[in-house]
Structure 1
């Protein structure tokens, strides 16, 4: 685990993180990777909901459950401060932290922080230059704004599930919470743009990031196809709506992905496979292959079952035909490219527990993201942060702890 990089892009930026679960913590984790100081405010005795979202769990003392792996995935490079801001004295403590921060991230229900005096208007009065990012399911306006929003529901409402799954099967969600993660990443983009504006002008702003808005935006080419044609795309399983062959095919010992993006690559495939499909007018050009995908798939299924996945990958990579295996996670983490890119790193928590985490995937030549702190144990930084920023005495900390404020 490396020390904080003094050249980190966000060195000197402090974030007050009132978020929990995934979209908000994912955003603040990225900011932390870039060098921002993240103060993660959690409820005393409970903390972020995901600390208990398991199994699997880290093993605590005597074999007791430690934090869940889910929590560990989204909370490196943060300092955990326990404050119960549902109590007036706790809310007052959080308000005292606000002038020390440049960014605030929260993902409570729309309007949920107003009763604590922690809504944007109240926070702006304390710090006019603050960048305040609200992450919700449906946004701060519109008929659904008061609804709770969960990734699964958003994948369904936002159209993704109507496009995912086998044609005759049920609609499928992504195994990874993509609406949450994309919203977190969009939030980071907006936060950095707003921070740049605040540094230039002194003017803060409110960022309204919604999972449904993000899911609609990330329909990308399929959304554009509907807007152009007004025809609803249908589920195609592992096939592509506009390219063929761009799909999973069986091999003699498993499966392989063929991702052929143009006619030249298809000719190269035919040559490497020793077949003449590219001479058939039904398959010579991409548009024809898309129209005749059922017949093409039948032919390719027979061809690809002649060799193993490894044999096909070796032959097609030599021919520069895009392809790849479908790896299980043990194969992913053992893959030589993944290992060479240092995609996994080892960190040690303050209690001495060692664990492995996925590293930030960006490689930057001057200001690289780094992991300088493992995901914190609940409240491990409370005394240090409140002493450093608010100059609280040991006696005051003891009184607040006795009253279950911290």
Structure 2
């Protein structure tokens, strides 16, 4: 019996986002009924395929579900489907992306009869806006979301990862929406009707660069494979044996990297202290260190990096991941059965230690039900809890208190999402060790000018929170932190694994103070990992998760994304895990420890390839900008400087429309070219013809004409272009917020909505120690005299200490 075994979930339509959302419920024991037409979900035919021709992508998305066939031509189709929905708790609806022959039903009428029903609807772009009717694919969404243009050689074309990204991001956001409703329903609230935009879900990855680059006035551009603004060195490099992922962000990490390689001149150069400064000299710096990395193996450099606290990691082949004993023991790699084949795939990364997820399972054939022993028999949540009307404007997590010990991107995104959904989040920093996204420059000019209050990235990640400062190295600071934790529901940290335990704030201590407390630890490799001491950023997580191995040209190196999206993915998974634990805590009164390894959160993006390799034993092919299933597929140059569109022909009819649009009607009627594999024989010729047409249009014109002809295409945007995107503007995605030091600035909305508009950003990010008095007096009852004494002793404060106050000794995982 899983922690969510009281929930019934029905999944209709076909989309990767809704399938992944429903799988996350199945991971924790929910009874998930997948409704399919007699021919099955179209995703069952998605490449890559196993040796017996089954979709590895479908397998990853759907194990531990049941399959129910509903033939839309049957006289009782609507009656059967409505009966299923009216007895479920959560309806996960992908029909707007692909109806998959699902019978037409009136969800609004069902919701009137069943106010307890939570309905989640996914779409590519949302119901309204200029892009609402666009045809899309995973890659065209990523292009529009600013996730493709900055990857690849400087001269182009942009390179990009295979599909299987937007569905995971959309599915995570969908799960967060539906699970937050499940938390609210335990307080007697009715169900909600949610919508999730897959496009806006993908902006979770690019929003950091969207705002930070705009604030700095930086002009981003491609500068070569595995080189990215604003971190350098931050890429994948060849060694004597194997590839090594390197990220050196802080001055201390750069100094340690230079010391490791014997590059004292670079180490001591005052022009290379900060990452942005080094990026201006990347060719010179690479000439020095790239040859030296080839003197030793990736594993040997990794061992050196551990000693020196440098974020470096070997880039594994997929076979390395499959043989990794630790990943199997943790459930990151799990066994599945799909028909007559046995395989391995990526398991759940929401590692709740008291109520763990399932480890593997069976992929249902069309119409196959899980065994009776696997399906829970007690009533659904809807049947045992009374529901009331939703309080207009009430956030689902209102009344939940979160203590936030996080820095940077991953942890703050997790707690920001909880705050956006209504939780009271109290962010704890120190004047000596503030959130490093306020800036890592500790030199006096930066600190004295209070530049740490002007970081756009910090402000985006920490809205809707209150902030205090506490020096946890002093006894009184520790006592105050424990008092806050005693009254909290959740605590989140993404420090290195030993930081809080060494301070006396480990879970073994906190659960005695507060048995209902949910504690989320977001370390890079996991609390008990052999590599628990490895320093890591989002880029490190991507490098170590296997994804770069399947990205890039067949004869090229492993390729990273231009943005360290391991952070954002870790944050969303952390939020999802907290919501599951909150459901359990509300049911039982018991909290638990969540051991989230952020590197495991990146593995789903390579899951289909891992599954195929686990059966056939052969490394997957690399396609560059091409696709294993769609022909043509790729980035095509348009008129203007560095102007591109991402295009895909996903079926025969779309191919015919594309051929006519580009002036090749002969191809449209050529029977020998109606099959994608037949077109692959002349793929070079087709690509030249497409580019000859796109070069006569600017990118937006090309997109407009091709979309009018119902061809899947999207402009390859820069992240900063999204601040002026007409679709986002029409949907009110960007909200203007006033804050001290930076004034009026834009904030991105969540991609999930329970109405026509986005959730409002209620408050700007806190300045350092902004709410010291408010929280210490209001929550803990301290007098003004006591608060003043804490300030005089340096336990609290509102100004960042410069490097003269001592070196920071806290670091994130």
Report the TM-score when normalising by structure 2. 0.46
Give the counterpart of 1:273 among 662, 666, 678. 662
- Cα deviation digits, residues 232-273 of structure 1 (max 9, x gap): 234433333432222101234432211222222112211222
Relative to structure 1, the CA distance from residue 313 to residue 85 in structure 2 (aligned partners, 3 Å threshold; closer, same or farther) is same
Cα distance in 2 for partners of 1:233, 1:295 equals 25
Bigger RCO of structures 1 and 2 (CA < 8 A, at least 6 apart): 1
Relative to structure 1, the CA distance from residue 20 to residue 222 in structure 2 (aligned partners, 3 Å threshold; closer, same or farther) is same
Q: Which moved more, 1:37-46 or 1:159-168?
A: 159-168
Aligned residue number for residue 43 of structure 1: 430
Cα distance in 2 for partners of 1:168, 1:34 equals 46
1:58-207 correspondence to structure 2 within 5 Å? 66-207=453-594
- Cα deviation digits, residues 366-398 of structure 1 (max 9, x gap): 996331110110000011101111101111111
Q: Which moved more, 1:288-297 or 1:110-119?
A: 288-297
Instruction: Note if 1:342 corresponds to 2:769.
Output: no
Relative to structure 1, the CA distance from residue 289 to residue 189 in structure 2 (aligned partners, 3 Å threshold; closer, same or farther) is farther
Instruction: Note if 1:384 corresponds to 2:774.
Output: yes
Contact in 2 for aligned 1:309/1:325 (Cα 8 Å): yes
Contact in 2 for aligned 1:251/1:306 (Cα 8 Å): yes
Point out where structure 2 has 5 or more consecutive residues left out of the alignment.
1-391, 797-813
Instruction: Note if 1:399 corresponds to 2:789.
Output: yes
Give the counterpart of 1:287 among 650, 657, 677. 677
Residue 208 of structure 1: how far off its partner (Å): 1.2
Aligned residue number for residue 745 of structure 2: 355
Q: Which moved more, 1:269-278 or 1:83-92?
A: 269-278
Cα distance in 2 for partners of 1:292, 1:17 equals 56
Residue 12 of structure 1: how far off its partner (Å): 0.7
Contact in 1 for aligned 2:547/2:605 (Cα 8 Å): no
Relative to structure 1, the CA distance from residue 89 to residue 325 in structure 2 (aligned partners, 3 Å threshold; closer, same or farther) is same
Cα distance in 1 for partners of 2:766, 2:647 equals 42
1:21-36 correspondence to structure 2 within 5 Å? 21-36=408-423
Cα distance in 1 for partners of 2:615, 2:678 equals 21
CA RMSD of aligned residues (A): 2.7
Contact in 1 for aligned 2:645/2:713 (Cα 8 Å): yes
Aligned residue number for residue 404 of structure 2: 17
Relative to structure 1, the CA distance from residue 252 to residue 88 in structure 2 (aligned partners, 3 Å threshold; closer, same or farther) is same
Q: Which moved more, 1:225-234 or 1:246-255?
A: 225-234
Aligned residue number for residue 142 of structure 2: none
Aligned residue number for residue 371 of structure 1: 761
Contact in 1 for aligned 2:454/2:741 (Cα 8 Å): no
Contact in 1 for aligned 2:538/2:564 (Cα 8 Å): yes
Residue 98 of structure 1: how far off its partner (Å): 0.9
Contact in 1 for aligned 2:525/2:531 (Cα 8 Å): yes
Point out where structure 1 has 5 or more consecutive residues left out of the alignment.
none
Q: Which moved more, 1:387-396 or 1:326-335?
A: 326-335
Cα distance in 2 for partners of 1:96, 1:404 equals 19
Cα distance in 1 for partners of 2:512, 2:720 equals 51
Contact in 1 for aligned 2:494/2:522 (Cα 8 Å): yes
Relative to structure 1, the CA distance from residue 98 to residue 137 in structure 2 (aligned partners, 3 Å threshold; closer, same or farther) is same
Relative to structure 1, the CA distance from residue 191 to residue 367 in structure 2 (aligned partners, 3 Å threshold; closer, same or farther) is farther
Q: Which moved more, 1:148-157 or 1:161-170?
A: 161-170
Q: Which moved more, 1:345-354 or 1:256-265?
A: 345-354
Aligned residue number for residue 170 of structure 2: none
The number of aligned residues is 399
Q: Which moved more, 1:275-284 or 1:136-145?
A: 275-284
Query: 3-state DSSP class of the match of 2:779?
Result: helix
Instruction: Note if 1:328 corresponds to 2:704.
Output: no
Residue 290 of structure 1: how far off its partner (Å): 4.6
Residue 221 of structure 1: how far off its partner (Å): 3.2
Report the TM-score when normalising by structure 1. 0.89
- Cα deviation digits, residues 194-230 of structure 1 (max 9, x gap): 1011011101111111121111123243433433443
Contact in 2 for aligned 1:249/1:255 (Cα 8 Å): yes
Runs of 4+ aligned structure 1 residues displaced above 6 Å come to 59-63
Aligned residue number for residue 213 of structure 1: 600
- Cα deviation digits, residues 273-314 of structure 1 (max 9, x gap): 231335557742123345654454344334443444344323
